[in-house]
Structure 1
Amino acid sequence: MTKHARRLLLTLGLAAATALTAAAPAVAQQPYVAPYLSLIPQSSTKYAAIVVDARTGEVLYGSRADAPRYPASITKVMTLYLAFEALAAGKIQLDDPVVFSPRAAAQPPTKLGVRAGDSITVHEAMQGMVTRSANDAAVALAEKLGGTEQRFAALMTLRAQELGMANTHFANASGLPDSRQLTTARDLAILSRAVMRDYPQYYRLFSTKNFEFRGQSIRNHNGLLYRMDGVDGLKTGFINASGFNLAVSAVRENRRLIAVVMGGPNVATRDRVAESLLVTGFDVLERRARGEQITVAQNFFEPPQLAQATEASMQQGDTDRGLSVQLASAPPPGRASSIQIVEPSSVPKLNSGAKASAGGRWTVQVGSFTSRDDARKQLNIVQKRFGAPFTQARGVAEKDGSRYRSRFSGMTEAQAKGACRELKAKKQPCMVVPPARG
C-alpha cells in the first residue's frame, strides 16, 4: 500500500471514529482536512467535483455538482460520442478522410497544425483530440459530421438532453471559450458513463498515451494515465474561465469509478484532488463489500468553506447522504442517428441571403425522446413558451428509428432558421432540418 493510500485510509479511519463517538459529550474537534482538497482555494468559484459508481450511477460524493461551469476541452468527449455513434451506424469509417476547411485550420492551439485543404483520417482526428486536445481536429470532424460546426453543436446539445444532461448547452465542438457553453460536474459524469456504456468498443481510445503523427510523438495531457493504476480515460480541459478540469475513470477489482474535478488552480492540484477522490471512493466500495454502511460524502472531511458547499449540495440532493442515488440518465439512444454526413465541399454557406428553395418543407427539431408522449409534451411546452415563431407550423412527434423527434414542420427556410435563432437566444436548444432530397 502506498504512503498516499495509507494517508487516505487514515482519513477515513479518523472520520469513522468521530462518527462512533459523536453521541458522547466532547470538546469539538478540528475537522481533518483530506489530502490535497486543502489545495483548492476556499474562495474558488470555479471548483466543483463528483465521484460516481460507473455501474450503478450512484453518486458517492458531490461538491457543487450542479453548479454551472465551463467544460473547456472535456467538450470533446461529446464530439467523440457523436463520432462513435456515426461509426457504429456505418456512416463513417476510421480510415475515411477528414478535410480541414480554412476555418478548422485557423483554430487556435492546441492543434495538430493541419493546413486548409489537407486531410487526415477519422482515426487520426480522434487520436489528436484525445491526446493533444486538438481544436482544429475537433472542428474538422464536426464539419464532416454535421456540415457546419454550428449545426453539429446543436446536435451535441440535443444528444446531451437525451442522455439526461439537463444543465448542459454546447456552442462549439472544441471547448474553446464561449459564454454559452455550460455544463455541470454531474452532467459530465453522465456523459462519461454514456460513452463507456454505449460505445465500449471505442472507449479504449481514451487510454491512448502516445500518438505518432507525421513525425511527432504526441503525449496525452491526462497525467493520471501514467501514474495511477487502473486509470483508462477520459479527458482534460482548460480555459481561463474554467480553471483546470478533468473527467477521469479508473477500474480496480472489477469496480469502476468516474470522478470529475472542475476549476483546479493548476494541473498538479487538479490531478491530486481527482486521485484522492478516486482512491477514497474505491476504499468506500471495498468497505461496503465487507458490510459497512459508508459514503465518501459522510467521511471525506474538507476545508470549512468547501464543506459548507458540500452540505448545501447534499440538502439539494447532489449527494446520496447514505442512500443510493441514480444519475438522471436516459436509456441508451437508438442507433438510427439523425446525423447526416456532409463533406466540407458541399457545406451550404450560412447567412447567404438566399431565398427559401423549398418553401413550407423545412422543419425545426426541439427534442428527441424514447416515447411519443414525451415528444408531444415537449411540443406543447415549446408552443406555450415560444409560440410566436410556430403559428404557421405543424407540431409532430415524428418516429425516427427507436426515438420520437419533437418537430415543427411546414416552414420556409427563413422561418425555420429565424425560429431556431429565436429559441437559442432564449436558451432553448433546437436544430433546423432541411427538406429531404428526392
Structure 2
Amino acid sequence: MRQAFAGFAFTQIFSAKSAIAGLLAIAMSVVAASTAVAQAAKQNSKYAAFVIDANTGKVLFSANADSRRYPASLTKMMTLYLTFEALSRGKITKQTLVPFSAHASAEPPTKIGVRAGGSVTVETAILSLVTKSANDASTALGEMLGGSEENFARMMTAKARSLGMSGTVFRNANGLPNSAQFTTARDMATLGLALREHYPQYYGYFSTPSFTYGRQRMPNHNRLLGRIKGVDGIKTGFTNASGFNLVSSVTDGNRRIVAVVMGGASGASRDNHMADLIMKYLPSASNSGKGAPLVARAGGSNFDAVDKVAALPKQAAPTPDTRPAADVTVASVDDAPAAPVRKAKAAPTPEEVPAPTLQAYAEPTSRPQAALEAAVAKPQVDPIKTASVAASGWVVQIASSPSRAEAESILDKTSKQAPGVLRKASGFTVPFEKGGVTYHRARFGGFGSKVAAWDACAALKKQKISCYAIQN
C-alpha cells in the first residue's frame, strides 16, 4: 500500500515538473524571440521609433526619434494629406479623373498599370495608395494637384513645415529613392496625428483591407490590420536604403496612440517590434478621451495648380495593362528614383548627418505565444525587391543627360537593344547637380550581386553599349 502510494506520488511530482518545464520552455521561447529583435536593433543604424499618446501628446517611447531617416512609402501619407485637403476644400471630388502622364505611367512597381494618357478617379487613386502603395497613382496625384511632381514636392515640404514637421524634406510624391528626401520618426508621428485629426471623414481609407481594380486584387500591405487589436492604419514603407518602416494608429476604448518604427531589418521583425510597442505602451495612454487637437491645422492652402482640374480628362478610366509576373518581382513597393528637383542647399542628406548613438528596441513585454507567433510568423509586408536599388546595391550606368526625357529614352532604347541582358533589370534615372545644372544618370538596377552587374555591363559592351557597374 505504501509502495503504491509512493509510486503515485512520484508520478504526480514528475508530471508537475514536466508541466513546469514545458511552461518555462514556452516562456523562454517568447523572451528569446523578443530578445533577438532587441539585439538586431543594436546593430541597425537605420532604426528609429516613436510612440505618442494621441489624446494628450505625451511621448511614451522615443529612440533616435529626431535622427534623419528615409521615409520610403511613408511619403504617400503626405500625398494623401494634400489630396484630402483638396477634397475638403472642394478643389476636387472623389470622382475627379486623375490623368497619368508618361512619367507617372513609367514609375516602377508596385503600380496599378495605367497607360500614359489614361486616368482613374481620385477615389481609385486613394485606394491604390493605401492598399498597394501604387507608385504610378501617387505620382499622377502629385502632378494633378501640383501641376508637376517637382512643384507638388515643394507643396509637400511647405505643408510639413506648417504642421510642425521641421525635420522633413520631400522630393517626390511616392517615396521612391532620393538622397535629398528625408524625415524623422517624430515627424511621421505628427503626420499620422494630423491625418486622423484634420480629416476624420477620409481617415477610414487607411483601414481598407483590400481593393480590386480591373482584374487586380490589392491586399493592404499593413499586416497588423485585423491582427493586432485596435490597429486601424496607417502606412508601410520599404526601400533598401530605409529598411522596413511602419506608422500605426491604435485605438482601445478612449485610449489612442500613434507609433512609428523605421529601419526594420525585415517586415516580420518590424511588425514584431510594433506589436511589442503597442502592447507595452497602449495601456499607459490616457483613458480620459480626446482633448484639443495636437496638431494645429495650417491656415490657407497652396492649391493654385488645382484650378487646372477643369482641363482634366472627361473619359472613363481605361482597363489597366496586365503585367507579367516577372515585372512585379523585380521592383519594390517603395523603391526607384525620384523626379528631378534642385536640392535645397541648406538641407543635408541623411548620409551627411553623423551616425546616431544606436538604441535597442523597447524592452519587450510578456505576451502569449499565440500573439508572438501572429506577429513574427507573418510574411514580410513588402517582400518585393527594388529594381533601382537591388539587394546588392550594384547598378549599371549607361549615360547621363541634362534632360530626364533623353535619359529615359536612352534607357528604353537600351532595353530594346539588349533585352536578353536586361531581362530582369529595371531602368531608372537619378538626378544630380553639377555647375548649377541638374543632370540625370540613366541606370539599370535589379542585380543580385556585384558580379551580376559587372557581367551585365560586359555583355552590353559586346553590343557596343557604353556602361560601367557602380554601387548605388
Q: 1:161-240, aligned counterparts within 5 Å? A: 161-240=161-240
Q: Is the 8 A contact 2:256 2:285 kept in 1?
A: no
How many Å apart are 1:330 and its aligned residue?
5.2
- Residue 414 of structure 2 corresponds to none
- Residue 42 of structure 2 corresponds to 42
From the superposition, tell whether residues 113 and 39 of structure 1 become closer, same or farther in structure 2 (CA, over 3 Å). Answer: farther
- Residue 296 of structure 2 corresponds to 331
Structure 2: state its 5+ residue gaps: 1-22, 313-340, 349-472
- Residue 314 of structure 1 corresponds to none
Q: 1:31-110, aligned counterparts within 5 Å? A: 37-38=37-38, 40-110=40-110
Aligned mates of 2:281, 2:36 — CA distance in 1: 15
Aligned mates of 2:138, 2:309 — CA distance in 1: 14
Aligned mates of 2:83, 2:189 — CA distance in 1: 19
Secondary structure of the 2:111 match is: coil
Q: Find runs of 4+ consecutive structure 1 residues off by over 6 angstroms.
A: 344-347
- Residue 420 of structure 2 corresponds to none
- Residue 305 of structure 2 corresponds to 340
From the superposition, tell whether residues 54 and 341 of structure 1 become closer, same or farther in structure 2 (CA, over 3 Å). Answer: same
Q: 1:424 aligns with which of 344, 347, 352?
A: 344
Aligned mates of 1:271, 1:336 — CA distance in 2: 36
How many Å apart are 1:212 and its aligned residue?
1.1
Q: 1:395-406, aligned counterparts within 5 Å? A: none
- Can you list the C-alpha shifts for 1:358-408, whole angstroms capped at 9, x where unaligned? xxxxxxxxxxxxxxxxxxxxxxxxxxxxxxxxxxxxxxxxxxxxxxxxxxx
Secondary structure of the 1:169 match is: coil
- Can you list the C-alpha shifts for 1:105-130, whole angstroms capped at 9, x where unaligned? 00011111111111100000010011
How many Å apart are 1:282 and its aligned residue?
1.5
Aligned mates of 2:309, 2:303 — CA distance in 1: 18
Q: Which amino acid aligns with 2:306?
A: I
From the superposition, tell whether residues 94 and 241 of structure 1 become closer, same or farther in structure 2 (CA, over 3 Å). Answer: same
Q: Which amino acid aligns with 1:98?
A: V
Aligned mates of 2:124, 2:39 — CA distance in 1: 37
- Can you list the C-alpha shifts for 1:294-331, whole angstroms capped at 9, x where unaligned? xxxxxxxxxxxxxxxxxxxxxxxxxxxxxxxx99x752
From the superposition, tell whether residues 37 and 61 of structure 1 become closer, same or farther in structure 2 (CA, over 3 Å). Answer: farther
Aligned-residue Cα RMSD (Å) equals 3.0
* Pair 1:144-2:144 in alignment: yes
Aligned mates of 2:167, 2:149 — CA distance in 1: 21
Aligned mates of 1:344, 1:93 — CA distance in 2: 10
Secondary structure of the 1:139 match is: helix
Secondary structure of the 1:117 match is: coil
Aligned mates of 2:304, 2:35 — CA distance in 1: 45
Q: Which amino acid aligns with 2:134?
A: A
- Can you list the C-alpha shifts for 1:119-175, whole angstroms capped at 9, x where unaligned? 100000010011000000000000110100000000000000010001100000000
Q: Is the 8 A contact 1:185 1:262 kept in 2?
A: yes
Q: Is the 8 A contact 2:257 2:285 kept in 1?
A: no
Aligned mates of 1:117, 1:338 — CA distance in 2: 23
Q: Is the 8 A contact 1:73 1:176 kept in 2?
A: yes
Secondary structure of the 1:109 match is: coil
- Residue 247 of structure 1 corresponds to 247
TM-score normalised according to structure 2 size: 0.58
Aligned mates of 2:298, 2:309 — CA distance in 1: 27
- Residue 403 of structure 1 corresponds to none
Secondary structure of the 1:341 match is: helix
Aligned mates of 2:159, 2:301 — CA distance in 1: 13
Q: Which amino acid aligns with 2:92?
A: I
Task: Give me the identity figure in percent.
Answer: 47
Aligned mates of 1:227, 1:39 — CA distance in 2: 25
Secondary structure of the 2:74 match is: helix
Aligned mates of 1:63, 1:260 — CA distance in 2: 10
From the superposition, tell whether residues 36 and 127 of structure 1 become closer, same or farther in structure 2 (CA, over 3 Å). Answer: farther
Secondary structure of the 2:285 match is: helix
How many Å apart are 1:284 and its aligned residue?
2.2
Aligned mates of 1:35, 1:53 — CA distance in 2: 26
Q: Which amino acid aligns with 2:347?
A: K
TM-score normalised according to structure 1 size: 0.62
How many Å apart are 1:285 and its aligned residue?
3.1
From the superposition, tell whether residues 179 and 231 of structure 1 become closer, same or farther in structure 2 (CA, over 3 Å). Answer: same
Aligned mates of 2:307, 2:242 — CA distance in 1: 32
Aligned mates of 2:51, 2:165 — CA distance in 1: 16
Aligned mates of 2:126, 2:103 — CA distance in 1: 18
Q: Is the 8 A contact 2:73 2:133 kept in 1?
A: yes
- Residue 160 of structure 1 corresponds to 160
- Residue 409 of structure 1 corresponds to none
- Residue 118 of structure 1 corresponds to 118
Aligned mates of 1:36, 1:228 — CA distance in 2: 21
Larger radius of gyration: 2
From the superposition, tell whether residues 226 and 112 of structure 1 become closer, same or farther in structure 2 (CA, over 3 Å). Answer: same
How many Å apart are 1:229 and its aligned residue?
1.2
Q: Is the 8 A contact 2:169 2:183 kept in 1?
A: yes
Q: Is the 8 A contact 1:40 1:269 kept in 2?
A: no
How many Å apart are 1:196 and its aligned residue?
0.4
Q: Which amino acid aligns with 1:192?
A: G
Q: Is the 8 A contact 2:86 2:303 kept in 1?
A: no
How many Å apart are 1:333 and its aligned residue?
1.5
How many Å apart are 1:217 and its aligned residue?
1.3
Q: Is the 8 A contact 1:89 1:336 kept in 2?
A: no
Aligned mates of 1:58, 1:108 — CA distance in 2: 39
How many Å apart are 1:254 and its aligned residue?
1.6
- Residue 131 of structure 2 corresponds to 131
Aligned mates of 2:153, 2:310 — CA distance in 1: 19
Secondary structure of the 1:61 match is: strand
Q: Which amino acid aligns with 1:93?
A: T
Aligned mates of 1:343, 1:336 — CA distance in 2: 16
Secondary structure of the 1:224 match is: coil
